[in-house]
Structure 1
Amino acid sequence: MVIPLVVGIDGSESSLEAVDWAVDEAARHTVPLHLVHAAEPGREASDLIAVASARAGTGTAAVRLSSEVLYGDAALALIGKGRNAFALVLGSRGLGGLTGLLLGSVGLAVAARADCPVVVVRGSAEHRGVRFGSVVVGVEDGEGSDTAVEFAFREAHVRRCELVAVHARSTPASAPSEPPPGSWYPREARRRPPAQVLDDALRGPAEQYRNTTVRRRVVEVPARQALLEAASGADLLVVGAGKRHGHFGLQLGLINHAVLHHAPCPIVVVPRK
């Protein structure tokens, strides 16, 4: 059985834009599309589902479509569906969410606790399409980005576009070029060279997706700034998140919070394996 791409809908224009994006995404990966609405007990939701289903049917891509109404807390309902989903797709703002650029509470809760990749469909129409021909992925020092890099390569492959791998590093001006041995020395000075970080992260997926063009970008600015700037010319931004030690959910951290709230294009949070 092929697992579906799941879209959370609430009747807002933002969630309908998420449906539009998800139709094309499901077609790219040849997976079914499943619309989910979490309603309060006793509240009628058939009209809302009908509108979203009709919206999905007007897309240029043909996908296998199903829908479901669940009763109870919206975030918990979507997290539950994410246990057997290709990915969860959400709008950037709900009916009762904050105005402006900020992601609503349901979207943030789902992004922080889902077991599958979570897509928040943000940005203008040109960013939600394929105008820029670019997928951006944030690459950390260490193993935290492995799953995100694999996901980003696959997205660039099915979209037939360029992959931009961004590694941000702020180097203290006073840091010596060769740190003395010993675990006491500051971690900042013991990190691997940026080129090696990118080589190690990209090597495996690059072998699998040989036809994907990869552009490497090393910048010495805060990671939040680097990712938001790179995303300004991208169709998709991909970031990773590790599990919280001893707790349920993911370590989103300040960087992921910033891009979830302010990214100019759709963003995917990919849980580390």
Structure 2
Amino acid sequence: MKHDRTPSPSGTPRTTPFGSARTAVPHVVTVGIDGSYASMDAADWAAREALRHRAPLRLVHAGAPPALPARDRRVLRPADRARGVLDRAAITLAYVHPALEIHAQQPRGPAVPALLAASAQAESLVLGSRGLSGPTGFGGFLVGSVAGGVAARAERPVVLVRAGERPEDAHVPDAAGVPSRGTPYRPVVLGVDIEHPGDPAFAYAFAAAEVRGAPLHAVHAWTVRRPATGPPPSTAEPTDLPGLLGAEADARDRLGTLLAPWRRAFPQVEVVAEVVFGRPGHHLLKASLGASLLVIGRRVTTGPRLGRTAHSAVHRVSCPVAVVPYA
């Protein structure tokens, strides 16, 4: 079983199951599927993630109504259609990934509560960027009501994978600029809020980088603080330069302090820390263009919703996005 090394407050690593800062959870990666191409792309990503962490994969078809007697035997009952989706997905994934241990689950009830229950029994839950959102989907990285609702409420990390995601997309191009599965992984990007850092997001990002042999790119974006009274600040005047430089240096020092124990816990992971001025959403979008995975924390104390930065990221970035809840 793979473990991460979650630093204690003193900076001394302590061993806990991967993806969990303090409590043990089942060593399994779960993916929600509905038979769409988008959900199968997510399932293939989840299968590769499970293999990377030497964990079994659980396929969940959620939202199917209870089985009812069929009046016409030629018409498949909803439960039978769901079972068919699960069987086809399991067969396909087993053919592509023969070493993978696969389980299937068909919970009853509405999709969001069923997926939330499934996520609580997994190290991570993977969902497609389309497919689970119903017939209104359109091209691009669309996060529907189901995927967005689960990501905003889940107790465990939720990874959103866009439709069309390919294995080679996680790797840097080869010498000729051609997509390849044999080249090193692209960096894992971690969005850091130095005012409200969360250990689970750091743990997830560092473990993801380690298992990929990829560098970790930690990004913190800062802006000028709004004064308590008076009008908001406009563009910085030359006289503000010392204050701005001081604020940037302070942010860089605080980011370095937050990363220090994780660098010691994961010595094999190359860490690049970046402090930039501006809105986090813009800079995370920019960083994600060359990333294999973007990791963003979600503060559960703000309620069952995605924050502004997480909401922007899951709707705009092109790489998979892991939303990690923390207190």
TM bin, normalised by shorter chain, reads: 0.7 to 0.9
Aligned-partner SS, 2:156: coil
1:34-113 correspondence runs (5 A): 34-38=58-62, 39-42=64-67, 43=78, 44=80, 45-60=82-97, 62-94=99-131, 95-101=134-140, 102-113=142-153
Q: Deviations over 1:67-87 (max 9, x none)?
A: 011121111100011112110
The residue number in structure 2 matching 1:168 is: 221
The residue number in structure 1 matching 2:285 is: 228
Q: Deviations over 1:153-172 (max 9, x none)?
A: 11000000111011112345
Task: Tell me, in whole angstroms, the C-alpha distance in 2 between the residues paired with 1:176 and 1:160.
Answer: 40
Q: Deviations over 1:160-212 (max 9, x none)?
A: 01110111123451457459xxxxxxxxx979712123112211211110111
Task: Tell me, in whole angstroms, the C-alpha distance in 2 between the residues paired with 1:134 and 1:40.
Answer: 41
Unpaired runs of at least 5, structure 1: 180-188
Task: Tell me, in whole angstroms, the C-alpha distance in 1 between the residues paired with 2:192 and 2:151.
Answer: 19
Task: Tell me, in whole angstroms, the C-alpha distance in 1 between the residues paired with 2:264 and 2:322.
Answer: 23
Shift of residue 119, structure 1, vs aligned partner: 0.2
Task: Tell me, in whole angstroms, the C-alpha distance in 1 between the residues paired with 2:267 and 2:111.
Answer: 40
Q: Does the CA-based 8 Å contact 2:26-2:121 persist in structure 1?
A: no
Q: Does the CA-based 8 Å contact 2:39-2:130 persist in structure 1?
A: yes
Aligned-partner SS, 1:70: coil
- Residue 225 (structure 2) pairs with residue 201 (structure 1): no
Task: Tell me, in whole angstroms, the C-alpha distance in 1 between the residues paired with 2:201 and 2:53.
Answer: 17
Q: 1:130 aligns with which of 171, 179, 189?
A: 171
Task: Tell me, in whole angstroms, the C-alpha distance in 2 between the residues paired with 1:55 and 1:14.
Answer: 15
**Per the alignment, do residues 127 and 196 of structure 1 end up closer, same or farther by CA in structure 2, a change over 3 Å counting?**
farther
Aligned-partner SS, 2:106: strand
Q: Does the CA-based 8 Å contact 1:20-1:56 persist in structure 2?
A: yes
**Per the alignment, do residues 118 and 61 of structure 1 end up closer, same or farther by CA in structure 2, a change over 3 Å counting?**
farther
Task: Tell me, in whole angstroms, the C-alpha distance in 1 between the residues paired with 2:115 and 2:314.
Answer: 17
Matched to 1:23, the amino acid is A
- Residue 55 (structure 2) pairs with residue 16 (structure 1): no
Q: Deviations over 1:33-62 (max 9, x none)?
A: 100001122312111011111222133462
Aligned-partner SS, 1:93: coil
- Residue 266 (structure 2) pairs with residue 212 (structure 1): no
Q: Does the CA-based 8 Å contact 1:152-1:238 persist in structure 2?
A: yes
**Runs of 4+ residues deviating >6 angstroms:** 189-192
Whose radius of gyration is greater, 1 or 2? 2
Q: Does the CA-based 8 Å contact 1:7-1:33 persist in structure 2?
A: yes
Aligned residues between the structures: 261
Task: Tell me, in whole angstroms, the C-alpha distance in 2 between the residues paired with 1:254 and 1:40.
Answer: 34
Q: Does the CA-based 8 Å contact 1:93-1:104 persist in structure 2?
A: yes
Task: Tell me, in whole angstroms, the C-alpha distance in 1 between the residues paired with 2:267 and 2:202.
Answer: 14
Task: Tell me, in whole angstroms, the C-alpha distance in 1 between the residues paired with 2:155 and 2:55.
Answer: 18
Shift of residue 2, structure 1, vs aligned partner: 4.2
Aligned-partner SS, 1:26: helix
**Per the alignment, do residues 143 and 114 of structure 1 end up closer, same or farther by CA in structure 2, a change over 3 Å counting?**
same
Shift of residue 145, structure 1, vs aligned partner: 3.7
